[in-house]
Chains A and B, each alone.
Chain A
Amino acid sequence: MNAPPNLDTLDRRLINVLQGGFPLVDEPYAAVASWLGIEEAEIIRRIDAMLQSGILSRFGPLFNSERIGGAVTLAALIVPEERFDEVAERVNAHPEVAHNYARDHELNMWFVIATETPGQIDEVIAGIEAETGLQVFNFPKEKEFFIGLRLEA
């Protein structure tokens, strides 16, 4: 595990500002710079540094693939402990499986399936059930309540 990075107050304010709407103007970094009262070049340098160090995993437009016909779901399995690695391998082999986490619960494997059409979600689930002999619990989102992580600046 990496040690927590040293972020100054400005970095924290910048992370909070960047999680909201980055401006769609010709010179957006200059706009953010004027909000925070610093130079445009300093904003660019800090974003670059935080991307390089992995503090930010991404910076740019965040697409909602569901709006253009794609589908996403959260699914889970109850995997017998002795089969865990084998089942993880089979699940991960599906390119539609984006994330997969082991979690401490009877439902002990949780993964996100993302496809270009809703029908493909069912195909992936059927495939995983056939390959593993396990029942897939499907938890499609019915509603999203999202704000984001706010850092204390």
Chain B
Amino acid sequence: MEQAPQAVIIDDIDRQIIAATQDGLPLVPRPYEEIANSLGLPAGAVKDRLNSMLDQGVIRRIGAIPNHYRLGYTANGMSVWDVDDRLVDEIGEMVGALDYVSHCYKRPRAMPRWPYNLFAMVHGKTTEIVENKVAAIRELVGEASRSDDILYSTRILKKTGLRLSERTT
């Protein structure tokens, strides 16, 4: 596994802020102040703490998650690649930066059944578009990848958000 950086310790107020924003930011002109008011904190406290959680990587970013299906990107292909270990970091950066790749991860192989160590989610409006995009990746990656495959999702069996429990430490 990636050498995990030391876990960040967050306090009860951080946890309360996380719990209060898990369902989203208020759609009002001063959203951070509104959360602060609801938690009985000083007006600037939520903005400051979100800022420091961003710096520490506790928050990846503040933003929107589009629903690929609702945007018409109904073909969802998990493309997987068997990339030379010496090149996988470089190739991963390149593939992850492509507009049509939503997530890109390096993961361990599971030989003999699973030779792939790079996973890139490719979304398209049709499987044909996904195939074309994967073909473009194949061209870009060239001989660094020995083989690849695309696994289409055929059914969603469960989908819940990743949620942080609201317990306090």
Contact = CB atoms under 8 A, between A and B. Distances in A.
A18 B161 CA distance: 19
B62 A60 contact: yes
Interface string B69-110: 111111000100000000001001101111111111111101
A133 to B, nearest CB: 17
Given A1-B69, A98-B162, A103-B78, A62 B157 contact: no
B63 A59 contact: yes
Interface string B141-154: 00000000101111
A47 B108 contact: no
B148 to A, nearest CB: 12
A145 B51 contact: no
A19 to B, nearest CB: 5
B169 to A, nearest CB: 9
B41 interface: no
Interface residues of B, number: 84
A83 interface: no
Contacts of A50: 64
B25 A60 contact: yes
Count class of interface residues, chain A: 35 or more
A66 interface: yes
B107 A145 contact: no
28 contacts: A1-B69, A24-B51, A25-B47, A26-B33, A26-B47, A59-B24, A61-B50, A62-B62, A66-B4, A67-B8, A69-B7, A70-B164, A74-B107, A88-B158, A98-B159, A98-B161, A100-B157, A103-B152, A105-B149, A110-B78, A139-B107, A141-B106, A143-B2, A144-B105, A146-B104, A149-B102, A151-B66, A151-B71
Contacts of B106: 141-145
Contacts of B7: 67-69
Interface of B: 1-2, 4-5, 7-10, 18, 21-25, 27-33, 47, 50-51, 53-54, 56-74, 78, 89, 92-93, 95-108, 110, 113-114, 119, 123, 125, 149, 151-162, 164-165
A109 interface: yes
B164 to A, nearest CB: 6
The 4 A-B residue pairs with the shortest CB-CB distance in the complex, in nearest-first order: A145-B96, A4-B72, A18-B64, A102-B155
